[in-house]
Amino acid sequence: MPALADSLQALKQAFPQVTDRASLDHPALDVPSTQVVAVLASLRDHAAFDFLVDLTAIDQGEGVSPRFTVVYHLYSTQEKAYVRVAMACPGGDDATAPSVTSLWPGANWHEREVFDMFGIRFEGHPDLRRILMWEGYPHHPLRKEFPLAGVETNLPDLEVVAETGTKVIAAPMAGGPFVASPGEINLTDAEPRAKDESWNERNAKPE
């Protein structure tokens, strides 16, 4: 799309530190953390990328610098095109990123989920708190060091304890990764099962 290519070229001229990022599908850019809000605002206001489709993160693992990258997927309802923006987070294990809720209010829940799952703090977020795990949960389940089978953790909510009949739970889901039996067509019968069922077996209620 010539219009899209021209817009991205103009963006890189306005922000010389922005570079192309390897991508097999959509145009992608690497943007410094100090410029990401301005770059995203420019893409929205001058290149018609009016819709924030998704905001997520990548964890390269402990000891890698930069460890975390925040990724933004934008869509232009005018050009019918996507662009991916990646920003390396400063701060190592205690990574930070600027909030983009001022550009897209819908980023609120996306940033809360990334904070909850990866531990990345979004500076300027109006209400940064956990969205899936409870406040006080000591782990971030999408970090590389978090085990696939989860971590047994005390449940603080007495109502949940009453329903589950246990004071510990493996989170986010015990026993992953989850797989379905090959060749099964009926999706009800092909309900995925955990490769590691040991937690379920240890905590099964007697019939």
Report yes or no on 130 lying in a domain: no
The answer on 101 and 12 residing in a single domain is yes
Question: Which of the two residues, 193 and 132, has the higher pLDDT score?
Answer: 132
Question: Which of the two residues, 135 and 180, has the higher pLDDT score?
Answer: 135
pTM of the model: 0.77
Provide the mean pLDDT of the chain. Answer: 84
The answer on 98 and 155 residing in a single domain is no
pLDDT the model gives residue 153: 77
Per-residue pLDDT band for 136 (boundaries 50, 70, 90) equals: confident
- Running DSSP on this structure, what letter comes out for residue 193? E
196 is written with which tokens? 């590691």
From residue 93, alpha-carbon distances to 38, 130, 144, 197, 199 in Å are 25, 18, 11, 31, 29
Predicted confidence (pLDDT) per residue in 172-187, tens digit = 444 444 455 555 555 5
Predicted confidence (pLDDT) per residue in 30-54, tens digit = 999 999 999 999 999 999 999 999 9
Report yes or no on 29 lying in a domain: yes
| CATH code at position 52 | 3.30.460.80
Report yes or no on 131 lying in a domain: no
The parent domain of residue 49 ranges over 2-123
